[in-house]
Amino acid sequence: MGGDTHNSSGLPPFTLTGLPRLEASQHWMILLLGLLYTVSIVGNSLILFIIKEEQSLHQPMYYFLSLLSVNDLGVSFSTLPTVLATFCFHIREISFNSCMVQMFFIHFFSFIESGILLVMSFDRYVAICHPLRYATVLTDARVVQMGMSAIIRSFCMIFPLPLLLLRLPFCKANVLSHAYCLHPDLIHLPCGDVTINNIFGLVIVISTFGLDSALVFISYVLILRSVLAIASREERLKTLNTCVSHMCAVLIFYVPKVGVSMAARYGRHAPPYVHTLMSLIYLFVPPMLNPVIYSIKTKEIRRRLCKILLRRKF
């Protein structure tokens, strides 16, 4: 046992996993992941380009959308190296330090996304419930402050995770359940007492995802109350339509997150590939769908995108 035990000085490598028990289908998974990465990277890059070029989009709502696109690119690039290595080149070993860095950035961008969705819901609340104060409340300086707050909060929450893992000894087979490093996966590998890690992980999840989702829900309750006070049915629908993109972004972020959490807690007897597929949905679907949803639902982005496509065609 003693010869197999590693601590932070030993820096044990980890073994990544593709799709357990579905090895024969992995060539299809390569095509699917390639499509998801392409749509995510190209789509979010186009959103950033369009917002930069279109003067009418230089307003708080689209500044937050820009931040969301940058964050989605961060999520995609955080998982890309090890996913390519695992599925395309069958390189399954990752060093301890590389795994810690990847884990940090995956969770860092995930927590930022939750914060961005919260500030976007605040933007919709002010725009609908207090339209006359919108320009004075959401100034450029305040938009920057809100964006920086989401980033700093995420950093402060995630930074202790690698440090808490570094203090623990590793003496088991360090085989991960995914093609990338996630904290809930890594926490099962150390031989030492992980109580502090578990408590800290639970605290940061509740204080970020839990609090953010509750505040988003409250903001939409207030928005709905304000919309129902509008006399015209047509105006009510028009007002609600401005929230559809954001509501879709919230659902495609939080629903897979809840699914992953439920599968980890109650799906212990489920086949391993179920957990892998759930985590793939959680990490890959939001960055892919967000630019698609906003391109479809935002008239200015859709119009500029059509111009770009027509220009390339002719």
CA 299, distance to chain mean position in Å, is: 25
pLDDT (mean) for 188-214: 91
Which percentage of the chain shows pLDDT scores above 70?
A: 91
Fold for the domain defined by 23-303: Rhopdopsin 7-helix transmembrane proteins (1.20.1070)
Q: Which two tokens stand for residue 272?
A: 């391993």
Q: Distance between CA atoms of 150 and 278, rounded to whole angstroms?
A: 26
pLDDT of amino acid 1: 42
Whole-number average pLDDT of the chain: 87
Q: Distance between CA atoms of 18 and 26, rounded to whole angstroms?
A: 8
Determine the 3-state secondary structure of 88 from DSSP.
coil
How does 235-249 read in b/e, with b if 16+ C-beta sit within 10 Å? ebeebbeebebbbbb
pLDDT of amino acid 20: 66
Question: 128 and 242 in contact (C-beta within 8 Å)?
Answer: yes
pTM recorded for the entire structure = 0.90
Torsion angle (degrees, nearest 10) of CA 185, 186, 190, 195:
-80
Q: Which two tokens stand for residue 235?
A: 């105006």
Using one digit for the tens of pLDDT, what is the confidence trace for 96-118? 999 999 999 999 999 999 999 99
pLDDT of amino acid 3: 43
pLDDT at 230 > cutoff 90: no
Q: Phi/psi class of residue 124: alpha, beta or left (left: φ > 0; alpha: ψ in -120 to 50)? A: alpha
Residue 2 pLDDT class (50, 70, 90 cuts): very low
Q: Distance between CA atoms of 27 and 225, rounded to whole angstroms?
A: 50
Residue 301 pLDDT class (50, 70, 90 cuts): confident
Using one digit for the tens of pLDDT, what is the confidence trace for 121-164? 999 999 999 999 999 999 999 999 999 999 999 999 999 999 99
Give phi and psi for 170, each to the nearest 5. Answer: -115, 120
pLDDT (mean) for 268-282: 76
Distances (CA, A) of 9 to 87, 98, 167: 30, 15, 10
Q: Distance between CA atoms of 249 and 290, rounded to whole angstroms?
A: 6
Radius of gyration of the chain (CA): 21
Nearest by Cα to 287 from 59, 84, 80, 123: 80
Determine the 3-state secondary structure of 175 from DSSP.
strand
Using one digit for the tens of pLDDT, what is the confidence trace for 30-65? 888 899 999 999 999 999 999 998 888 899 999 999
